[in-house]
Structure 1
Amino acid sequence: MKLIELRKKSIHNLYNDLLNLLQEKFNLRIQLSQRKLKHVHLLRRVRRNISRIKTILTEKRKY
């Protein structure tokens, strides 16, 4: 996800995206613990996207 795309979204959509990413992170962590995760880089990508969304939500709450 790009930062510009995230800034255009509403708060409601951002929360939905955040919930989906948190669920995906959970699933990836389960796969990692079971040694079934072949693409470990996906976990890092999801974590960074979660951080981006949280940052944008904080910015939107201030204004």
Structure 2
Amino acid sequence: MAPMKVEDIRAMSDDQREDAVLNLKKERFNLRFQRATGQLENTSRLREARRDIARIKTIAAQLRAKKK
């Protein structure tokens, strides 16, 4: 899965962004579990998921600040 694009994140509603963060956190948990058990094949996905979460949270904060 490719990293999320900024334009796509900005086009999401607040609820969609929250859902995306939740899904990414669940995926990250599962990936960490797979790594611990030696089943993880794509180790770079852990990093991508972490960065996607940060990207979504950053854009959400920027949009909130813009509304004020």
The TM-score range, normalised by the shorter chain, is: over 0.9
Counterparts of 2:34 and 2:10, CA distance in 1 = 31
Q: How many residues align?
A: 63
- Tell me, which stretches of 5 or more residues in structure 2 are unaligned? none
Q: Which aligned runs of 4 or more in structure 1 are off by greater than 2 angstroms?
A: none
* Match in the other structure for 1:19: 22
Q: Percent identity?
A: 40
Q: CA RMSD in A?
A: 0.7
What is the TM-score normalised by the length of structure 1?
A: 0.94
* Match in the other structure for 2:6: 3
- In structure 2, the residue corresponding to 1:29 is in which secondary structure? helix
What's the offset of the Cα at 1:36?
A: 0.6
- Tell me, which stretches of 5 or more residues in structure 1 are unaligned? none
What's the offset of the Cα at 1:15?
A: 0.2
- In structure 1, the residue corresponding to 2:26 is in which secondary structure? helix
What is the TM-score normalised by the length of structure 2?
A: 0.87
